[in-house]
């Protein structure tokens, strides 16, 4: 695992956008797995700026989702599909045809999970998967105790994660209890994992991920198993190392 400490979130965003730009230069139709939450926004802003202001060609890039809420009405502004379209796909000048994600409003959620895992494999696998980290060490929506070999499936959110994510909704009651998430095994299939963590609130989770034992109690510690994992942290998130 490679650990990169940067001064602040903006520097982390620039660094990771540069890595994505390098990937897209080598492989213009790379499949880029994206994460939601506040942390990756500087990456998407820096990448969109490169697409706008430099010769970087992102027109053939493909984007895929890491996770999704279950049961939000289609088109809900906080469904992760809507968030990724708004924060990544549209700013890059791409269209929905370049984008894939699990169907959180499917009647048969188990079938939708299987279909998404299969679709990722049929698309050739994820070239670079961006990850954030929850305060409890979760990646995607793989909460503590998730199997390290898990595949895309339905999960129940912990109260802590619902509280953490309530800021995107009108109130806590609106935060769904259930989600679809790529499993830890699914995430580990990506060729390169890049986790960005910023702010002091993530310091304990980062320390457990990087220096703690491999444990299902800290899902992000599964990155220790991956041959090409990069953890980018700002000074505050690195303060527990
Ligand atoms: C959610 C997402 C994760 C994300 C986490 C942290 O739980 N499913 O992918 O890493 O939030 O979000 P933030 O970056 O806003 O702290």
Residue with CA nearest ligand 1 atom 10: 132
Domain segments of the chain: what residues? Answer: 2-234
- Which residue do the tokens 């990069």 mark? 230
Q: How much is the pTM? A: 0.97
ipTM: 0.97
Beta partners for 100? 64
Residue with CA nearest ligand 1 atom 6: 134
What mean pLDDT comes out for the span 7-31? 98
Query: Per CATH, is 2-234 categorized as 3.10.105.10?
Result: no
Active site residue 117: no
And the tokens for 20? 């994505």
Q: What angle do CA 226, 229, 232 make, to 5 degrees?
A: 150
Mind listing the pLDDT tens digit for each residue in 50-81?
A: 999 999 999 999 999 999 999 998 899 999 99
Closest ligand 1 atom to residue 201 Cα is 16
Catalytic residue among 68, 76, 127, 138: 138
Buried b (16+ CB within 10 A) or exposed e, 62-96: bbbbbbbbbebeeebebbbbebbbebbbebbebee
Nearest to 34 by CA among 1, 11, 60, 67: 67
Active site residue 204: no
Pocket of ligand 1 (CB under 6 A): 35-39, 66-67, 132-134, 140-141, 161, 165
Beta partners for 156? 178
Ligand 1 pocket test, pick from 36, 183, 234 with the greatest ligand atom count within 8 Å of Cβ, gives: 36
Mind listing the pLDDT tens digit for each residue in 162-209?
A: 999 999 999 999 999 999 999 999 999 999 999 999 999 999 999 999
Separation CA 212–CA 120 (nearest Å): 30
């Amino acid at each position: 695992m490679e650990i990169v400490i940067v001064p602040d979130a903006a520097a982390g965003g620039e660094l990771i956008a540069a890595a994505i730009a390098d990937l897209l230069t080598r492989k213009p139709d790379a499949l880029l797995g994206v994460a939601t939450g506040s942390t990756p926004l500087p990456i998407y802003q820096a990448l969109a700026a490169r697409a706008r202001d430099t010769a970087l060609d992102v027109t053939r890039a493909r984007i895929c989702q890491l996770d999704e809420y279950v049961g939000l009405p289609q088109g809900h502004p906080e469904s992760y599909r809507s968030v990724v379209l708004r924060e990544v796909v549209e700013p890059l000048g791409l269209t929905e045809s370049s984008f894939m994600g699990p169907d959180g409003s499917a009647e048969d959620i188990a079938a939708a999970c299987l279909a998404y895992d299969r679709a990722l494999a049929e698309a050739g696998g994820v070239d670079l998967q961006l990850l954030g980290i929850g305060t409890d060490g979760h990646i995607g929506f793989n909460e503590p105790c998730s199997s390290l070999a898990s595949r895309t499936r339905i999960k129940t959110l912990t109260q802590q994660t619902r509280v953490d994510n309530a800021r995107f909704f009108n109130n806590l009651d609106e935060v769904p209890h259930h989600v679809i998430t790529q499993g830890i095994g699914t995430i580990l299939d990506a060729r390169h994992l890049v986790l960005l963590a910023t702010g002091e609130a993530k310091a304990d989770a980062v320390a457990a991920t990087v220096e703690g034992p491999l444990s299902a109690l800290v899902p992000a510690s599964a990155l220790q198993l991956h041959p090409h994992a990069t953890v980018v942290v700002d000074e505050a998130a690195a303060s527990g190392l």
